[in-house]
Amino acid sequence: MPELQFHGAAGEVTGSMHILHVPGGPVLLDCGMFQGRRAEAIGKNRRLPLRPQSIQAILLSHAHMDHSGNIPYYVRSGLRCPIYSTPATCDLCDIMLADSAHIQEEDAKFWNEKRARSAEDWIDPLYTMEDARAARHFFHPVPYDQPLQFGDGCKAVWIEAGHILGAACVLVEAPNGGRPIKILYTGDLGRFDMPILRDPTCPLPQADYLITESTYADKIHHNPTDQKEQLVRIIDETRAAGGKVIIPSFSIGRTQNIVYYLSHAIREGLMAPLPIYVDSPLSTHATEVFKKHPECYDEDALKDFKNTGDIFGHGLVEYITDTAASKALNDRREPMVIIAASGMCEAGRILHHLKNNVEDESNTVIVVGFMAQHTLGRRIVERRDEIKIYGRFYKLLCRVEVLNGLSAHADAADFARCLGPIAPGLKAAFAVHGEGTQPAAMADILKKAGCKNTFIPKPGEKFQLT
């Protein structure tokens, strides 16, 4: 009898990994990295709930680190099975896991240098570039909507989730005597009317069991449709004041959305051209992956792609990978837009752009993504008088604008729309990938839609699927 075991993202939002025990051996639904407090994350990422050699397959929903980021550690520990995901997810993982390995190596180096002075034990990186490269060989692309046969009579199909490029909900069928059991895993569910990507599949296919994320089950987001106009207005006002616009942005998804909006606005005559820079090697490489996968675009983006051949600012946006070219932007005084990583302003090139621009009141910082507590990004959102960058305080004199409509996660209304119609036919649902009251809010949505049993699983909990 199939069994479901919860490991990560049970009562929290990181380290997504659920274990499905089916004929042929255990299957991982995602293999995410725990992020958060350092000491806690180290322990959680290295604690394996089963022998990696015993895993028969990983069914990967999407490329975000909290869903895919621990794969190289499993490979380092002996995993040798196929990792199935959509072609775009395979390509994004290629660059993101290498980037993550680089961060792990740098982090270990930093701590070891620090510890050498205090004579504490040395630490190993969670995984290295070599492990990330080795992991690459286990990826097998599976196109959307094409059923995959695996294991001992099992099937899986990847369905559009509308969350980031390549993101999918995964429907698994496992044999169980007579009628097979269907398990639907949402991965991260996206939103309707977002630029570039298709909408999430609605309603999602009927299953017996549902494992659903619940990140924003307790929220209603701002509508995304006016975000382009808001961006144009803020940029025009800043340009009129002779200032620069600095946009901290996640490399995957958010950066491409902003570029898509701005290049559209220029081509439609809504905004006069001005220099626009994407200053991040990872964003640049991710944009190349976006260009390679028009099969993931929605109708508008596809039409645009067929007309222009490049929907990511060809001729209007300059992508910078070189450090010297990035630094050279500091010396230029004319109005411009700089989009740089990291999204929460915790590391990367955004720091030197902030350092050089926040004390000038003619400049604007536009916040386009979620800023977690205790991050520099959050302090900017809170409009503190001073912010600390590289150990020095800077006066926050520039204008700060926050755009709330670009979240890539479904809200309560989206969940009700996609999951509501299948709720009455579920034997049970499991609300994961949520903190505090979020999983309970998800349970409430499903209950109102007619689902009789919703569980909020704890790490290590097991459920028999009948």
Min. distance of Cβ 165 from Zn ion in angstroms? 11
Nearer to Zn ion by Cβ, of 162 and 348: the residue is: 162
| Per-residue H/E/C for 210-230 | EEEECCCCCCCCCCHHHHHHH
Min. distance of Cβ 14 from Zn ion in angstroms? 10
Nearer to Zn ion by Cβ, of 33 and 271: the residue is: 33
Min. distance of Cβ 61 from Zn ion in angstroms? 8
Packed helices 129-136 and 87-118: angle between N→C axes, nearest 10 degrees? 160
Min. distance of Cβ 30 from Zn ion in angstroms? 10
From 42-50, 64-72, 85-93, 389-397, give the range in contact with Zn ion by CB under 5 A: 64-72
Reduced to 3 states (helix: H, G, I; strand: E, B; else coil), residue 309 is coil
Q: Is the peptide bond before 342 cis (omega within 30 degrees of 0)?
A: yes
Distance CA 9, CA 145 (A): 26
Nearer to Zn ion by Cβ, of 2 and 166: the residue is: 166
Nearer to Zn ion by Cβ, of 96 and 340: the residue is: 96
Min. distance of Cβ 288 from Zn ion in angstroms? 20
Nearer to Zn ion by Cβ, of 277 and 370: the residue is: 370
Residues within window 178-197 making contact with Zn ion, judged by CB under 5 A = 188
CA distances from 283 to 273, 275, 346, 387, 403 (A): 21, 17, 16, 25, 20
Query: CA nearest 368: which of 412, 325, 337, 395?
Result: 337
Min. distance of Cβ 256 from Zn ion in angstroms? 15
Nearer to Zn ion by Cβ, of 64 and 182: the residue is: 64
From 13-21, 57-65, 88-96, 213-221, give the range in contact with Zn ion by CB under 5 A: 57-65
Min. distance of Cβ 216 from Zn ion in angstroms? 12
- Long-range CB contact pairs, 201-205, < 8 A, 24+: 201/159, 201/160, 201/161, 201/162, 201/169, 201/418, 202/417, 202/418, 203/417, 203/418, 203/419, 203/420, 203/421, 203/422, 204/159, 204/169, 204/418, 204/419, 204/422, 205/159, 205/171, 205/422
Nearer to Zn ion by Cβ, of 56 and 212: the residue is: 212
Residue 4, number of CB atoms within 10 A of its CB: 23
| Site membership for Zn ion, residue 64 (CB under 5 A) | yes
CA distances from 339 to 37, 277, 355 (A): 27, 6, 15
Nearer to Zn ion by Cβ, of 189 and 451: the residue is: 189
Min. distance of Cβ 111 from Zn ion in angstroms? 28
Give the number of residues in contact with Zn ion, rule: CB under 5 A.
2
Name the strands in the sheet holding 139-141, side by side, starting at the edge strand that comes first in the sequence: 139-141, 83-85, 57-59, 25-29, 17-22, 3-8, 462-464
Question: Which residues are at the interface with Zn ion (CB under 5 A)?
Answer: 64, 188
